[in-house]
Every structure is written in structure tokens, then in C-alpha cells.
Structure 1
């Protein structure tokens, strides 16, 4: 078997979408004659914990851990809740930020470049340099964000004649929350310089969307391959909710607040008593204050079921039981290439997906192409209302079902097959 070193920050017991991609790749790589050696932080300050994911780590996989110092731990002395929210990418609008939040953001953006995990780079390079020599490792994969992980790959590449694959689960300088970090001009330029160095020194770049590939092609001529996120396992067979449940899985940031949807649901409740009687809005994960305010404004609080964070295994069951699954993205040009990881598990749940996002949204196009639901911009009120009524009528008849196509291409095993070929190409 070929040994491949995989360096990542998010690893069980970390919860949330960031941990899923490489946890699943690692699970299937041995089937393709690749032995993954995983390198992760030992005492990371994860904003979300999901102990159930520890059971999903393959028993035959070697996991090496290195202590990490994170300033978020010190900042939490002043406000643990606010620190965790910022660490998770949940940044309130400027006018609603407290003095402490504004200070944290400014310090985070300008003192910790590319991010607050930067102090993990130097000790990790030292530990991994010894490992690479002892194990004769020829291929290293780094995955971000956090993008400080990419700097580990950059430094290892400068020391050894190895194949370095830089995996980007999200863009770097173009992602939405990057603009909210109150960066000085110097800090902005430093981010771009580091981004350019990583993209040009890596032997291959992996991205999760076509839009990110197109963006990076303006920065580097190195090979860039799209390997999306995916779903794992078979469809969960369960009884559907009796209510007309519209479920959103994951953090619902204020910037993703689907105001038009709340408006449409309010109008449908006012005009259709049968609709109002069975509607349930199920929110699973952290909810932004602006979202809560909008739900109250449209009088929908009585039909909202706020579950908070639940384990990944429970999420799979809840989304399989839902009548409709809600997929949201910020309405902006820079989010057109964002494909939320939850989309693929939505696809596997085989429940109708209601997607609301920017025009030319890549994720919305995937929903339409696989016949897994309907996609709208946040301005298409008539289309949104019509499809909700159509689905509600089908629900009343017990006929709200899907005949989706091609979702097997997004299974974790098939995606790992593609990854294995990509890594083998690097070593040829």
C-alpha cells in the first residue's frame, strides 16, 4: 500500500460539516491501495463537539496527534459564547456587534494570519519532518480551512521532494466571512500573498466546486481538480413526519436568513388553515439572532421547533423523516460556487430540497439537475409560493415523493475512488 500523510484540523470529536470530508475519505482509501496516516491537533478548541463521530474513525487507521495552542482558549475567558460563535464563522452584523465582538474580530483578522491556528504550523512541521523521513512518505495532503494547515504543506514542500496536494473545502480570500474580519490593507495583502504561495507551490489543488476552480485558475497554472463533498451509506428507511416539516440542518447564519420564505409561509398560513395546522419549521444547529427576529416578525415562532445541535447520526434520521429539506446560501456573487456539505446528505435522504440562493448558484443547479427539488433566488416569490403549494398538495395526498437521478455519483466511495486516482497521478 502507498502511504499518504493527511493533515487536517477538524477531526472527531469535532462536530459540524468540516470533519466529514476527510473522515470519509480515510474510511475508503484503503480499498484503493492507499494507507492514510492522519495528523490532527491533540487538544483543539473545537466550537462544536460530536462524540458520536469517534465511533466512525476506522480502527485500522493510524492517527497522530500534535498539541496545539489556540488564542481562542484565552479569549474565551472574557466570553466563551461569543468566541465560539466567531470561531464557527457566525459573525453578527456590524450594528449588532458588541464592543467585545468587534475587538475579537479585529484582533482575529489582523494578528492571526491566516487564522488563529497559526501556532500549530511550526511544531507540526517539526513532528512531520521526522515522520516523513522515517516512513519514506512521498505524498502529503493538507486540507483547509483553517488555511494555516496549508502552510504546513507549504513548509514541508520546501524541505522535501514530495508530492503535495492542497485541498480547499472552501475558498480563501473570497469567502463571505473574510470581509467581516476588519482586515487592514496590509492584512488583506498578506492573505493574498499566502494564498498565491500555496496555490503555486502545491503540486495539485483540490476544490469542492467548479466556481472555486475557476477562481483559482486566475491565480495559478497548477492542476486543479473538482472533487465535491458527498454522502455516506444507504438511504435511511424511516416513517415520514406527520407534520408538513420544513427542516434546515446546520448553522443558520443571519446573512442566510431567508426572509422571503418566512414571508411566503406567513401568507400561506393566513390563507390556508390546513397549511397552518400542519406546518412545522425544524431548525437543527445554531441560529443567528436575525433569523429569530424575522421568525417573530412574521408570527412563525409557534411553528418553529429549534432543536439546537444534535449528533450526526440523529441528523441523518431527522432529515430522512422531513417532508422538505431547506438549503440556503447568502445572496451574493461570491457565494455562487459554495456547495454546502449538507446538500449531499440531503440528496441521499431523497426528500424534496427547497434551495434558496444567488443566481447561477452551483448547488441550486445540482438540485435541479438531479431532479431532487427546486431552486429559487431570494426574489422569486411567486415561484417559491407555487412550489410550496404543489408540494403541500402532494403531501396531503401522501404523494410527496422524488424520482431523483444520478446521486450515486456523490457517494463517498465513488468520490474516494476519484481521489485515489488523483493521488496516484501525483506519484506517477
Structure 2
């Protein structure tokens, strides 16, 4: 039986590191067992903020990978300023702390590169893929963004060839937090909204990663919207031995706007009030950490309790989260972040370690943690309850009884999520 051919257009592909690459790398891994042959299209010379060569080993043997060059403005900008590299990683300082160069770069990025800095890849990709799609009888194309330029590729292919087009939104478009930091003029802001609306109303099917985003998009389009979250894969690791210290670990980028002062204050007070807590407590920061986070930690007298490990491979990050006593997840206290579900959450769910999460009210993260009974979720006003819970976990740690009993996490496995994706493709 011939498999259905599906063209997947993605910017992030190994050796790209970070969460953006995981989603479609795993879908591609499992799609063939559901009667689908994935064909991946990605840039041949991208500028990835992070790389992880270990992920190259996870690319399935025998799949077709098409590559075409991309002309990115970051290549030129990097010659002139280190600020370009910082901004390309998504690290945007508070406005009052931005340099003139950073302000200028954000203005240019937001107003001259719409929808984003990968817009120069649209025309050559449409030209190349329109021929490939016709030659190889491909009837379904999937675009995944951000970068949302890839959805414009799908939009143009849909108009030219009338293919079945599925637009996958790993994050929202005009309502994501950093969008407001791009110093958009009214003209640019309206152009973003117009493109977003056109994509949402032209694609045959929309896929989103959260219920909040689905509700948001339902105000813009009547097209079918499916929620397929990110997920976890079973990582085969040798036996993991839990840390002997009371470790609280944050895995992934910890940007300055996520600075949870209630956590730092809670830890500061616990260290002052409990001598044994001070003896055993350690905070592991695994990934990029914003400068403001480091300064605030210092201000609360926590520096000597911190292991600032920096960026590590995905394999290493999994080891850290499985051996930690507690896992930390923090999101910005904003309505704009209610739809954000960090990819690491799903790996946290199967690490068998309790989660301490801090974020806005009404978020998808809160729903998932409560539904799976994998930890506790706190608002930015919950200082005393947060402090009490950390102390409770510490007492369980001392008695060697710090455990978690997850419920129903199987539906977030990459294999089960790919099955749901295959059903969407065959509709």
C-alpha cells in the first residue's frame, strides 16, 4: 500500500536546538506507522540561536529532506552588533534598559520584516516547491510557525495549486508577548493582523497547541481548528540517581520577563528560617538565563545556592530533570501568556518529579498540571502558599518520601499525538 505523501515546511530542523525543533522531528518519526510518508522542507543555511547536534541522530533513516538556501538579515546584523544575536534568541530587554542599537533593531525587525526576518525565503520557496509538488503528486502541505513567514509560503502554494493546506501554530501570532515589543507602527500592526486573518481563513485546517489559542482564533475564522499539544517521547536513559541535595531545577530559557520575585522571596525566607533547608537547598538553572534573573537572585542573597549550568543538549537536559528533586516552570504574569505551554512541561510530566509552576490565572499549563496531578500551580500573589508547599516538599525530601503519582499522561505521548495528527491529515 502506497503511503500518503505529506510535505512539511519547517524552519527548525536538526541541528537546531531548543523546543522549536522537537515537535515536528517527533511527528516525522511516527507518521510512517500511520500510513503517511513525510517529506521535510527546511533551509540549507539557517542561523539557529541554539544548536544541538545530538538531535541529528533522531532524524529517521530514509526520509526525504529538501533544502534550499535562505537569506537572513541576521547574518549581516551579526557583523555589526552582538545585540542581533541576543534578539534572535528571543531575549529582549525591558524597554527602559534597551540600547539605542537594540531599539533600532527591534523597530526595523517589526516594521520592515513582516511577518518576520525569514520573509526573504518566501518567494524562492514557493518557486521551488510549486514545481516539486506538481512533479511528485503531493496533495497535502503542512506549514509550522513561528516563523510565520512559512505560513505565507503555504498561503501562496494554496492559491497557486489548491492543495490541502494545514497551518500549524506552535505559538500565537499577533497576541504573543514579544509582538508588542517590536515597536510596530499602526500600518505594520494592521499588516500583521491582515496576514494572520488571511492565513487563518485560507488554510483548510488550523492546528494549535493550546485551548486558549483555539478560542482566540475562533474569533477570526470559522475554519476547523484542532488542538494538538506538544508532548513527550520515552527517553531511554541509564538508571538515574536522584540528587542528594534538595534541588529545584528550571530547564530551558529563563528570560528576564519571567522573573518570579515571589519564588526568590520564598526561598530567601526559607533559608533564613530553616537551617537544614539552607544546608540542602540548590537551584539548578539549565539553559539561557536573563541578566535580570541573575541580578534579582543576587539581591535576595541566593547566589551561593545557584548552579548556573547554561545551555546543554536535549539528552543532558532530560538527565537533569529526572534526577532533580523538584522541577520549576515559570511563565510571565500576563493575559498574553495564558496560551503558552512550554514544550518542557510534557517532559516534566513523565520525569516522576513534582512540578512547581508559577504563571497567570486561567492558563493551559494550570489545567494540564491539575488534570495530571503532577504538581502545583501558583499565581504571582500566592507567596505564602508557595512557601508552604516548598517547605512541605522539603520535609518529604528529608523523610525520603518526595514522590508524585501522575494520572492520564499517556495522551501526551508523541506517538498518540501523531495518531491524532494522522487523523487530521486524512480528513
TM-score, normalised relative to structure 1: 0.98
Q: Aligned residue for 1:141?
A: 142
Aligned counterpart, 1:395: 397
Correspondences of 1:37-186 after superposition (within 5 Å)? 37-80=39-82, 82-186=83-187
Tell me the alpha carbon deviations over residues 136-180 of structure 1, each in whole angstroms, 9 at most, x when there is no partner. Answer: 000000000000000000000001121000000000000000000
Deviation string for 1:234-266 (max 9, x for gaps)? Answer: 575410011111111111111101111000000
Aligned residues: 424
Q: Who is 2:381 aligned against?
A: 379
Contact kept, 8 Å, 1:235 with 1:348, in 2: the verdict is no
Matched, 1:223 2:186: no
Would you say the 8 A contact 1:234–1:348 is kept in 2?
Answer: no
Contact 1:42 1:67 in 2 (8 A): yes
Retained in 2: the 8 A contact 1:121–1:149?
yes
- What is the rounded CA distance, in whole Å, between the counterparts of 2:280 and 2:286 in structure 1? 19
Cα shift at 1:381: 0.7
Runs of at least 5 residues in structure 1 that lack an aligned partner in the other structure:
none
Given that 2:6 and 2:139 are in contact with CA atoms closer than 8 Å, whether structure 1 keeps it comes out as: yes
Query: How far apart in 2 are the matches of 1:17 and 1:101?
Result: 25
Question: Counterpart of 1:246 in 2: which secondary structure?
Answer: strand
- Secondary structure of the equivalent of 1:3? strand
Q: Structure 2 stretches of 5 or more lacking a match?
A: none
Q: Which residue in the other structure is 1:420 paired with?
A: 422
Higher alpha-carbon deviation: 173-182 or 226-235: 226-235
3-state DSSP class of the match of 2:167? Answer: strand
Give 3-state SS (helix, strand or coil) of 1:165's partner. Answer: strand
In 2, the alpha carbon distance for the partners of 1:364 and 1:384 equals 15
2: CA distance between counterparts of 1:368 and 1:396?
25
Question: d(CA) in 2 for partners of 1:79 and 1:351?
Answer: 41
Which range moves more in the overlay, 105-114 or 82-91? 82-91
CA distance in structure 1 between the aligned counterparts of 2:86 and 2:416, rounded to whole angstroms = 34
* 1:26-45 to 2 correspondences below 5 Å: 26-45=28-47
1:291 matched residue in structure 2: 293
1:349-408, CA deviations, whole angstroms, 9 ceiling, x for partnerless residues? 121000100011210221111010000001101110111011000001111111110111
After superposition, the Cα gap between the structure-2 partners of 1:49 and 1:117, relative to the gap in structure 1 and judged at 3 Å, is same
Contact 1:213-1:224 within 8 A present in 2 as well: yes
TM-score normalised per structure 2:
0.98
The aligned counterpart of 2:342 is 340
Counterparts of 1:96 and 1:287 in 2: how far apart (Å)? 17
The corresponding residue for 2:353 is 351
Alignment partner of 1:279 is 2:281: yes
Structure 1 residue 121: Cα displacement: 0.5
Alpha-carbon distance in structure 1 between the residues aligned to 2:100 and 2:159: 41
- Structure 1 residue aligned with 2:261: 259
Contact 1:253–1:291 (8 Å) recurs in 2: yes
User: Once the two structures are superposed, what CA deviation does each residue of 1:166-198 show, in whole Å capped at 9, x if it has no partner?
Assistant: 000000000000000001110000000000000
